[in-house]
Structure 1
Amino acid sequence: MRAFACPVCDSFVAFEADHCTECQTALGLHLPSRNMLALDEGAALHAGSRWIRCNQHRTLACNWLTPEAQDPGSPAGHRGRCLAGSLIRREPPADDTLAREKLIPTTVALRRLVFQLADIGLPIEPYWHVDGGLAFDLLSSRSTGEKVIIGHARGVITIDVVESLDDYRESLRVRLGEPYRTMLGHFRHEVGHYYQNVLVETGTGADTYLEECRRLFGDERAGYSEAIDRHYTLGAPAGWEATFISEYATMHPWEDFAECFAHYLHIADTMDTAREAGMVLHADRVRFNAPRDIVALECYDDEPIERMLFDWKWMSLFFNRVNTAMGKNPLYPFEIPEPVVQKLGFVHKVIRDTARRR
């Protein structure tokens, strides 16, 4: 994640901040420029256009800006929302105060996702702009009593906002035997399904990518319902660690791709955050044998996935030690075997090719 600076005093500004804690200037995040803009009476001028606060600033603590001149094609009820907010197709009603409270941290994770997707150059086509476009149903299983299944179908990603509760999410993580489970992780996994569909299976690159995707991940035409039943009855096959990033990835080729896509976003964003913080592993200053200084590159677009993962190996070693020093689980409790390197390389290629074409 990019490190933001106050445009007035140049102090550090957090991703979720709506003002500078040093000089108290009102701020808003301007997605096209990836910068914080100073606001004057709730508005800012950028490149000749006037930008105003998202109308969810107070209700959902959204600090993003939106063009004052709204897209007339956006849903009437969503006009005045920023891009991330406009992708929300369904949400708890205003009188469901419990669910609305959990919607706030859920939308923070959504905005982090949308920022990263825009930053790496992936297309973000809203559901109200094209058929099968990206949409989010952010629902609550706790307040309505209805079962909410996290998943993706025809561009619509469904998320249970109850997962923003640490105790609830952690209980599921332990019960399902998962080493990692976060709200942002859910968003990254599910959007992987969306991009597999629009970039690999049906998009302009399908002729180029589909055969290789099936070779690496398996044939996505295999029965999905049967795969679910098999996975939850028998579990992951013995020795899965040699070819998959997680047990869940073994269930079906779609899940394997989505898990690798999510891990690619995890790795890329964490490395970007470290670089923006000025972190460097100095080989001559550590007690163990390090091959060279490790400095995250500003851009890995023209680098093979092996270069990115080599840097990540050493950086994640540090992050894991920091977490365990605080009595927490390792930050990245995963091993990346060679077959997964190849799968991540495919994700890397699809993302970079797509960004270049755009």
Structure 2
Amino acid sequence: MKTFHCNRCEQLVFYENVRCERCESLLGFLPELREISAFEDAGDGRWRSLHPQANGALFRQCHNYAVENICNWMIPADSPETLCQACRLTRTIPNLSEPDNRLYWYRLEVAKRRLLYTLAELGLDAQSLDADPERGLAFEFLADGGDGEQVMTGHDNGLITLNIAEADDAHREKVRTAMGEPYRTLLGHFRHETGHYFFSQLIENEPRRLEPFRKLFGDERADYGEALAAYYRNGAPADWQASYISAYATMHPWEDWAETWAHYLLIVDVLDTSTTYGLALLPDDPSEPTLTDRTPVEDASFGNLMKRWFPLTYALNSLNRSLGMPDGYPFTLAAPVVDKLRFVHRVIAAAGDKRDKHGERESIGA
């Protein structure tokens, strides 16, 4: 995530902001530019962008911005759409007559928009399932039924379902502890489930990618139901950390892929943010980890990303411990996990038509 500024007064603002704290200008995200813009009122529900790249173009607020206070994306003034690109991906919203559901909806949409930003930066834009029934993407946010029926978070042919209870911090922490997970976030759920979606888009019907996938992750044709039952009956192998990013990744090759995919998105998002902010590690002791490389994530080779990731997470965990908080990055990347992350990097590089720092496309099967 890059840094953003108010175009009227240059105040630093965040991706989620809707108003500048200094000059009170309306703020909104322009997905075409992937920039936050300040706006001036042009009348009739139209807003003139003050961002220099927008050239004074007129926009309207997404309906979920202007009316529901859930979104902060803008729509070109001449567009027939009432919802922005992000909100059109949400097929079902929570029942707003229930207490707290508006807050949960807001948190879900914030996490979803951050995911979409990262995917767009990687060249992985997705059409809505309504616009493209064959290859599109959609989300539904559902709650458990009063009769004890539970909503399972998951993916099915482009439709990602999330249980809105995951937007309740107390509930999510309770589940995290009960499951013995070191890390569980709302954004992580979005990253994981889009891993399943992109498996179907980028690997499932691509023989040149499917065979290398099976060498690293296993045969995805193994019965999923049996694997799921075995995992919840027996748990993960005792030595799972030697080959997997998480215990849940041991359950089935599909889950190993989705967990690894989610972790790769985490890595590139954090590195992108630290690079944009100019974060550097310059210790007095030369034996301590240093970090001065500011290669843009989209131009970096996988080796470059990993070289920068380890010192950054060392500093992150040290800062968290000084705050009295758990490690921000409670993971260990064994060599087989790094190989899987490298495969994800290459698949995304090929799909997003990205090239490494040498200007050469990386080989999927290498």
TM-score, L = length of structure 1:
0.91
Q: Deviation at 1:208? A: 2.1
Distance in 2, Cα, partners of 1:185 & 1:197: 19
Partner residue of 2:179? 176
Distance in 1, Cα, partners of 2:56 & 2:324: 50
CA contact (8 A) 1:140 1:148 kept: yes
Partner residue of 2:224? 224
Count of matched residue pairs: 345
CA contact (8 A) 1:106 1:164 kept: yes
Decide which of 95, 100, 103 is 2:102's aligned counterpart.
100
Q: Secondary structure at the match of 2:119?
A: helix
Q: Secondary structure at the match of 1:39?
A: strand
Distance in 1, Cα, partners of 2:84 & 2:248: 33
Distance in 2, Cα, partners of 1:100 & 1:49: 32
Deviates further, 151-160 or 38-47: 38-47
Partner residue of 2:359? none
Partner residue of 2:295? 297
CA contact (8 A) 2:122 2:298 kept: no
Partner residue of 2:29? 29
Amino acid at match of 1:124: A
Distance in 1, Cα, partners of 2:60 & 2:330: 41
Q: Deviation at 1:101? A: 2.6
Q: Deviation at 1:289? A: 1.2
Aligned pairs for 1:54-65 within 5 A: 54-57=62-65, 58-65=67-74
Pair 153,289 (structure 1): closer, same or farther in 2 beyond 3 Å:
same
CA contact (8 A) 1:113 1:188 kept: yes
CA contact (8 A) 1:60 1:103 kept: no
Decide which of 27, 45, 48 is 1:44's aligned counterpart.
48
Q: Deviation at 1:50? A: 3.2
Partner residue of 1:333? 330
Answering whether residue 333 of structure 2 is matched by residue 351 of structure 1, we say no
Once the two structures are superposed, residues 224-271 of structure 1 have per-residue CA deviations (whole angstroms, 9 ceiling, x without a partner) of 000100001001112111111110100000000000100001111011
Amino acid at match of 1:61: I
* Alignment gaps of 5+ in structure 2: 356-366
Q: Secondary structure at the match of 1:157?
A: strand
Partner residue of 1:68? 77
Aligned pairs for 1:191-210 within 5 A: 191-202=194-205, 206-210=206-210
Aligned pairs for 1:149-188 within 5 A: 149-188=152-191
Answering whether residue 85 of structure 2 is matched by residue 87 of structure 1, we say no
Distance in 1, Cα, partners of 2:161 & 2:18: 28
Pair 37,143 (structure 1): closer, same or farther in 2 beyond 3 Å:
farther
Partner residue of 2:317? 320
Q: Deviation at 1:292? A: 4.7
CA contact (8 A) 1:281 1:295 kept: no
Distance in 1, Cα, partners of 2:168 & 2:114: 18
Q: Secondary structure at the match of 1:159?
A: strand
CA contact (8 A) 1:162 1:168 kept: yes
Q: Deviation at 1:196? A: 0.8
Amino acid at match of 1:176: M
Q: Secondary structure at the match of 2:106?
A: helix
Amino acid at match of 1:335: T
Q: Deviation at 1:127? A: 0.5
CA RMSD of aligned residues (A): 2.0
Q: Deviation at 1:47? A: 5.7
CA contact (8 A) 2:70 2:105 kept: no
Q: Secondary structure at the match of 1:92?
A: coil
Q: Deviation at 1:97? A: 4.1
Q: Secondary structure at the match of 1:265?
A: helix
Distance in 2, Cα, partners of 1:103 & 1:272: 27
Partner residue of 1:136? 139
Answering whether residue 244 of structure 2 is matched by residue 272 of structure 1, we say no
Q: Secondary structure at the match of 2:128?
A: coil
Q: Secondary structure at the match of 2:40?
A: coil
Q: Deviation at 1:60? A: 4.0
Once the two structures are superposed, residues 4-34 of structure 1 have per-residue CA deviations (whole angstroms, 9 ceiling, x without a partner) of 1111122201111112111211111101111
Answering whether residue 278 of structure 2 is matched by residue 251 of structure 1, we say no
Distance in 2, Cα, partners of 1:357 & 1:268: 14
Amino acid at match of 2:235: G
Q: Deviation at 1:293? A: 3.8
Aligned pairs for 1:4-19 within 5 A: 4-19=4-19
Distance in 1, Cα, partners of 2:284 & 2:229: 48
